[in-house]
Structure 1
């Protein structure tokens, strides 16, 4: 079951729509696939949907074992770990579900992601080439540039000689991480900050 959830989650919205179509139309086999692909349309059309064919039997078996809600919650639980929450919430609004309460439960699943985001961001920053721990005295000189989903604030500062610093502050504006990189590694830090903004805000 977990393997099926991961494969459907990797497909994103098309996989979710295929699951819903198979579950709600009462169609099986080729009819369910054609209906789902026709619904998806898009630039890839049915040819793009052919890649989904291999998952049809897995999805059918999984749906026979669990109800649609559990299956969708499992998919979104997997996807919320790697995709922006705002994207997933908009996607859930787009889904054609007859049970509006199911949409709310799916949204709650996305919103209750409890992984420690600050720790994940620290790992990303620690992996920037040349990253060196910064002194806490420089934290007060930094300026907020973004707030993460868990309330952690990312702050930056460039010292008088042009060395880039990055800090993480908790909800009470206390430093929980600080680091800096030399000039030659500034681009790596900027790339890490772009990734953090994309994945954790």
Structure 2
């Protein structure tokens, strides 16, 4: 997943349009590229080449595993690290998306890093950074979507005021989030059933060392 996200992110807006086109039409290969170019109204060079043709196969595989929104969130998490946020916000506003609220959520991803695996701001405290490192070392830890942050419940507060929040979804999958003093998500992840004990051990360590 990380490989295809980085490759699509490197294409910029044309890559995003390619993903949206494939999700909306089910097209793959050259047909998907042609449809995306028609939407962009640009020259073939924008999405040309054998490399991009091969990328459509990776995109198809990714869309079979995650939702379009989760895929786009991962792409913008990657792009926000290297591109001006203002430019990305204007780009998102111009996109044709099926869910009107998706634009707002993607904008939040750009501005606050919501939905990104690790969102460490310049003002992120040492305690929060250490807690993130502990959680990232839990086997099977996977990025959680920021939309689930509001479903979580506080379980402890670190010395710096960071709040550790947890949530179990309908499938019994354990989620963990960190929120700052302004109740903004700075980290979110989840583990499968087989790794729940590892998450519990990490939370015990965080409580022991950072509260």
Query: TM-score interval w.r.t. the shorter chain?
Result: 0.5 to 0.7
Task: Rate the CA distance shift 1:63–1:69 in 2: closer, same or farther, 3 A.
Answer: same
Determine the structure 1 residue equivalent to 2:22.
22
Please tell me whether Structure 1 or Structure 2 has the larger radius of gyration of its CA atoms: 1
Q: How does 1:143-162 map to 2 (within 5 A)?
A: none
The correspondence of residues 124-143 of structure 1 with structure 2, limited to 5 A, is none
On the 8 A contact 1:8/1:15 being kept in 2, the answer is yes
**Whole-angstrom CA distance in 2 between matches of 1:91 and 1:73:** 14
How much does 1:117 deviate? Answer: 4.0
Distance 2:20 2:54 in 1: 17
Structure 2-normalised TM-score? 0.52
Deviation at residue 47 of structure 1 after TM alignment: 3.5
- Where structure 2 has 5 or more consecutive residues not aligned to the other structure, the ranges are 114-118, 125-211
Residue 64 (structure 1) aligns with: 64
1:118 offset after TM fit, Å?
Answer: 7.4
How many aligned residue pairs are there? 117
1:115 pairs with 2:120: yes
Q: 2:45 aligns with which of 44, 47, 56?
A: 47
RMSD: 1.7
Deviates more, 1:105-114 or 1:70-79: 105-114
Cα displacement string for residues 12-35 of structure 1 (whole angstroms, at most 9, x for unaligned residues) = 100000000000112233322211
How far does the alpha carbon of each residue in 1:134-156 deviate from its partner, in whole angstroms, 9 at most, with x for none? xxxxxxxxxxxxxxxxxxxxxxx
Offset at residue 98 of structure 1 (A): 1.6
Q: Which runs of 5+ in 1 are unaligned?
A: 120-201
**Aligned partners of 1:79 and 1:107: how far apart in 2?**
12
1: CA distance, partners of 2:120 / 2:5: 19
